[in-house]
Amino acid sequence: MAIWDFDYSSISSITRILEENGLGMTKKFGQNFLVSMSAIDRITALSGAAEGSVVWEVGPGIGALTTKLLQTGANVTSFEIDHGFCRILREKAYVDVPNFTLVEGDALKSWKSVWEKTGTPDIICANLPYNVGSVFIASLIENRCLPKRMVFTLQSEVVERMCSGIGDDSYSGFSILTGIDYQNREAMKLKSGCFFPPPNVDSSVVVMERRTDAMVPEEDARFFIELVRILFAQRRKTVKNNLKALGRPAAEIDEALAKSGISVTERAEKLTVAQILELERNIKR
């Protein structure tokens, strides 16, 4: 059956379909529809979706980006938490569309079971609610679900952190977490008028391209990620104080820091990935 022909750029059309289905925008889900068709086209192109690609989309809403992804011939699995939107997607937008699969519920809770059944997708592409964006990305990386490419629309502040390097004010544990397996770049900024209703924060689109050679060997990745979380848990504290959370004897921590060439008074935001990796290996020993 043909994909639903709907004008996703028309605020009046969106308002009407919501009213017809007894729906409203839910703040707790961080719902903002992307209504700029030029932005949607650009995001679709940035995703690299093509005939036969396996794509996950998180937060499709009523299907603006979904439609463009499906039109590439990609096999799209969309995760949607809002049951009313799911009804529109299932009963109006994509009835019997063979390359569309809907997963109803919270993606943070459901993605792992889909992953276990179907494997890692080629692409993840989403206009993520600002209140769960970084949590979802971290969950993927921590669990080692690593698609070749991910394209997310996020709060600009989050994208800035993802693209920051050592010495930048916004450099953080999240910068390291998202950078060890991916090269991150801000592809475009989106003004509030690109959305309905307009959000109160600036938005950006970030492209995460899987590195040919990861910065951290896979056998070290899980403990490395745990160590980064501990090191950046309290930014004002020294690495030595934060490392107390490991539950290791103080002398053992001091020795590991010394072997790694890291001062006990250093702070995490001054450490390179190479230094943290060396620290991890010395702590393991």
Question: What's this model's pTM, rounded to 2 decimal places?
Answer: 0.93
CB 228 within 8 A of CB 221: no
First to last CA, the chain: 60
| Percent of the chain surpassing pLDDT 90 | 88
Measured over the CA atoms of residue 79, residue 80, residue 85 and residue 87, the dihedral's sign is positive
Residue 23: band (very low, low, confident or very high) from pLDDT cuts 50, 70, 90: confident
Cα separation, 171 vs 123, in Å, equals 26
Q: Where are the domains of the chain?
A: 11-210, 218-284
| Secondary structure class of 120 (helix, strand, coil) | coil
Per-residue pLDDT reduced to its tens digit, 97-108: 999 999 999 999
Peptide bond into 129 cis (omega under 30): no
When the pLDDT of each residue in the chain is averaged and rounded to a whole number, the result is 93
pLDDT (average), residues 264-274: 94
Examine the pLDDT at 221 and tell me if it is beyond 60. Answer: yes
Q: What are phi and psi of 94, to 5 degrees?
A: -135, 45
Q: Which CATH number fits domain 218-284: 3.40.50.300, 1.10.8.100, 3.40.50.700, 3.90.550.10?
A: 1.10.8.100
Burial 245-275 (b: 16+ CB within 10 A, else e): eeeeeeeebeebbeebebeeebbbbebebeb
Residue 220: band (very low, low, confident or very high) from pLDDT cuts 50, 70, 90: very high
Fold exhibited by the domain 11-210 = Rossmann fold (3.40.50)
Alpha helices in 150-269 (DSSP H): 156-162, 173-179, 218-231, 239-242, 250-259
Per-residue pLDDT at 215:
97
pLDDT (average), residues 246-269: 95
